[in-house]
Amino acid sequence: MSVPPHWRSRARFFYLAKLQAKQENLHRLQQLLDEVRAEDLHLAPRGPSAAAAAAAGGGLPWAGVVPPVSYMHICETESFSMGVFLLRSGACIPLHDHPGMNGMLKVLYGTLRIACMDTLPPAAAAAAAPPPAAGPCHRALFRSRQHYTPASPPCLLSPHTDNLHQIDAVDGPAAFLDILAPPYDPQHGRDCHYYRLLEGPPPGAGAEQPGLPREVWLMETPQASDFWCGGEPYPGPRVCL
């Protein structure tokens, strides 16, 4: 007798969490993550509600009415966290870092534009004075800016490579499965910091970024007033570790 598809999806997703919890077999983990689909997590693409559109009165239909980004918590241990981020059409998760963390991001539906950067130690950065800024400045390597869809392989980050990124929803709502190892923990030096690019077009702008990879200056900023993340219940398979 064949195994029902939803059973296979549940087993694959549970094994994915088990592998991440043990932090072993990275290749197999990437392979499993690449196989995860929105239906495995009981998710379907969504748009802004009619009420939100009417209340906003133009512009982005959800602006100032509902969170631009929502998070569905799946599970978390001292070793890793797993959850789903849902971005409304036109929403952006601003440029931010993941101190000392590894991560994997798999698009479940929609299209994301992801700009990735590395922080540079002072000794490795080219001799260039930062432009005038109101906050602490950091030299970084702007490595890439690519579009990701459900057909794309996972987007990866490590403590030293692509550790800073900005995520924009392109041409509609989007969602992605997010795995971080270890998870954010301010008490252990893993707090989230936000940055603004001081040179050239913003990372999420439609304009092409000149000459990537290239060194840039970033200014550390508070969390933007127009960005916040709401919570939603997770409807998919339960993961017990």
Question: What pLDDT, on the 0 to 100 scale, is given for residue 92?
Answer: 95
Q: Could you count the other beta carbons within 10 Å of the beta carbon of residue 112?
A: 22
Q: What are the residue ranges spanned by the domains of the chain?
A: 5-47+62-231
Question: What pLDDT, on the 0 to 100 scale, is given for residue 231?
Answer: 95
Contact status, residue 14 vs residue 238, Cβ threshold 8 Å: no
2-6, 101-105, 209-213: which is most confident: 101-105
Question: What pLDDT, on the 0 to 100 scale, is given for residue 3?
Answer: 33
Structure token digits, residue 159: 């403590």
Q: Thinking of the domain 5-47+62-231, which architecture would CATH place it in? A: Sandwich (2.60)
Q: Is the pLDDT of residue 11 over 60?
A: no
Q: Is 136 helix (H, G, I), strand (E, B) or coil?
A: coil
Contact status, residue 166 vs residue 111, Cβ threshold 8 Å: no
Contact status, residue 135 vs residue 219, Cβ threshold 8 Å: yes
Q: Is the pLDDT of residue 1 over 70?
A: no
Is 67 exposed, middle or buried, given 0-12, 13-18 or 19+ CB atoms closer than 10 A? middle
Burial pattern 81-108, b for ≥16 Cβ within 10 A else e, equals bbbbbbbbbbbbbbbbbbbebbbbbbbb
Q: Is the pLDDT of residue 52 over 50?
A: no
Residue 71 bridge partners (DSSP):
85, 231
Q: Is the pLDDT of residue 158 over 70?
A: yes
Question: What pLDDT, on the 0 to 100 scale, is given for residue 199?
Answer: 77
Q: Is the pLDDT of residue 43 over 50?
A: yes
Question: What pLDDT, on the 0 to 100 scale, is given for residue 204?
Answer: 65
Least confident of 119-128, 143-152, 157-166: 119-128
Question: What pLDDT, on the 0 to 100 scale, is given for residue 212?
Answer: 87
